[in-house]
Structure 1
């Protein structure tokens, strides 16, 4: 029962992800939300990688596996390739969140470096590097699988090789892979956020003291309000990433510390299977929650979203009036 609930919730989250990420890409690409091109590049790239996770992990893996279990996608080479693409997309999404956090750290805390770093050219270069390195890193995932059985000389399905757990080389690779994602992003995001908050609090106290000395009373400060909104957006995006990736992070640690294998999915009542599936579900949910973050922190994004919802109805009304 618990496993069926996890599967049902995962499918619902997957459908929501497709719609919300498409909405993000369309709205942010129009550049009417009052955000700089640098920020827009990062947010759009994060939405695109989240959409790629949906395509590879949801459509080509989950939906195909549940409703078309014996399709050509279950042939071992394609199954292995699909797994590599899933991990590459997930890594890109995680590290683009780190890149976005670092960009905001530079923009807020390093004014001299901001002029050279916080540009659309740098953002495009960082996004390209992150995407390429994520693909290279997860190319090795293609080789950890073996056929679960062979029928008519065709290898079917993907089972993790025993040597993945016994070989020192694979153990080192899995340790590096797990450290790079999600362990290192956890640490970097927490560190960057802590430094950013510290700088903002110190700068705000200094500005308040200067205002009080010059005017004798405190007044509203547009710069402080701008910093406050930037901080809210930064912490909402990175904080949701940390919170929703925590179960997946615990699963990785549990497998290596307890020296057990990842769940094969053969026993749906197994606590390890439920833990893994819950981690995947929350990992998917970390993507689709970003539109609600943008809507909650960016007034212009809310306005564009409302216009997008109203547009089909207004178009129908205009067509009706034109036909009369």
Structure 2
């Protein structure tokens, strides 16, 4: 009885999150990612240019994810029922953009994890790989490949009605549901996102932790013999900041994508295809998607909590938005004759 009651309460939370009243949450997600893009693009956060490239790419892909699915599709469905967003090619393109944004966001997280793994564990490769140019090439390659592997999703939908010869709506074709080739594509796509990235990030983090612990023991023992145990190690302090940023981003990714991974494994094993809104399978799927959307805004919160320079840049940005309206209102209150006199003598 207690489990059923808890499940029903969680279902009510999901209904609220997917309701119109919760649309403002998606605008908050967009704002968070936009703030991260602006601040990181200024390059004053004390991070290397290589790391900054990856973080900007993650923020942009998360911004596009929130824009295409929770906002664009919801806006088109509820607020503009007769708009061009319901035309079948536009609807199919929206699905492609969503798949591309998801794939790019996930694999850039993998690329960032691998970059930090190389920086910490591979001293010889570090100077050649951990550069701004390499990061730009990796991000560009991930974006191109992410778009290419998402193109087939455009062809799985067909219109459910025609008005004046215009195809409207997006309904999954029977060929997609019955074809073995489409089933293979769907399986490969699930492996690409999120199974393989999930395992790669987990494995790279485990190897990185082992390397860090071994290097810390050796360095601590060396410094204790030479300088005493109480001396601070600047190298370890800088490495600690980098490690906190890495593990915060990848740790939240693993936690928030875990439900999605487990549900997809369960659905493959049990071959569940359809269920009602009150079914526990639907609740699990909706919860997985809700956590996936939440993952699109957590990085900005991580930067605020872990990066002192990012907090300073955020405060500087906030002061600009606060002072600019105040200055305009003050100028409007000045007498026009005084303004003319002031400008004349200045």
Measure how far apart 1:148 and its partner are: 2.7
Deviation (angstroms), 1:151: 4.0
* Runs of 5+ unmatched residues, structure 1: none
**Per the alignment, do residues 216 and 41 of structure 1 end up closer, same or farther by CA in structure 2, a change over 3 Å counting?**
closer
SS at match of 2:18: helix
Among 237, 243, 263, the alignment partner of 1:251 is 263
Task: Give the 3 Å change call, closer, same or farther, for CA 217–251 of structure 1 in structure 2.
Answer: closer
Whole-Å Cα distance in 2 between the matches of residues 74 and 273 of structure 1?
Answer: 25
Match of 1:251, SS state, is helix
Unpaired runs of at least 5, structure 2: 1-10, 335-346
Counterpart pick for 1:190 among 179, 192, 202: 202
Q: TM-score, normalised by structure 1?
A: 0.93
Question: 2:322: which partner in 1?
Answer: 313
* Aligned 8 A contact 1:148 1:157 in 2: yes
Alignment RMSD: 1.9
Measure, in 2, the Cα distance between the counterparts of 1:71 and 1:262.
29
Q: Quick one: structure 1 residues 42 and 10, their matched pair in 2 at CA, closer, same or farther if it must change by over 3 Å?
A: farther
The C-alpha deviation readout for 1:45-94, integer Å capped at 9, x for no partner, is 11111111122113321221122233221122211111011000110000
Task: Pick from 19, 44, 47 the counterpart of residue 59 of structure 2.
Answer: 47
Q: Pick which of 18-27 and 313-322 moved more.
A: 313-322
CA contact (8 A) 1:200 1:227 kept: no
Q: Following the alignment from structure 1 to structure 2, what is the Cα–Cα distance between the partners of residues 146 and 233?
A: 44
Structure 2 counterparts to residues 104-253 of structure 1, below 5 A: 104-253=116-265
The TM-score, its normalising length taken from structure 2, stands at 0.87
Tell whether 2:16 aligns with 1:5.
Answer: yes
Distance in 2 of aligned mates of 1:6 and 1:134: 28
Q: Does 1:38 align with 2:47?
A: no
After TM superposition, the structure 1 stretch with the greater mean CA deviation from structure 2, 108-117 or 11-20, is: 11-20
Structure 1 CA distance for aligned equivalents of residues 73 and 85 of structure 2: 8
Shift of 1:320: 5.4
Q: Note the C-alpha offset of 1:276.
A: 2.5
CA distance 1:259–1:303, change in 2 (3 Å): same
**Distance of aligned partners of 1:11 and 1:318 in 2 relative to their CA distance in 1, 3 Å threshold:** closer
Moved more, 181-190 or 60-69: 60-69
Q: Give the CA deviation at 1:152.
A: 4.0
Instruction: Give the Cα separation in 2 of the matches to 1:237 and 1:6.
Output: 24
Q: Secondary structure at the match of 1:287?
A: coil
Q: Which residue of 1 is the match for residue 337 of structure 2?
A: none
276, 299, 302: which one pairs with 2:311?
302
Aligned to 1:282: 291
Q: Deviations over 1:202-228 (max 9, x none)?
A: 111001100111134342111111111
Select 1:67's aligned residue among 55, 61, 79. Answer: 79
Change (3 A) 1:254 1:216: closer
- Select the structure with the greater relative contact order (CA < 8 A; seq sep ≥ 6): 1
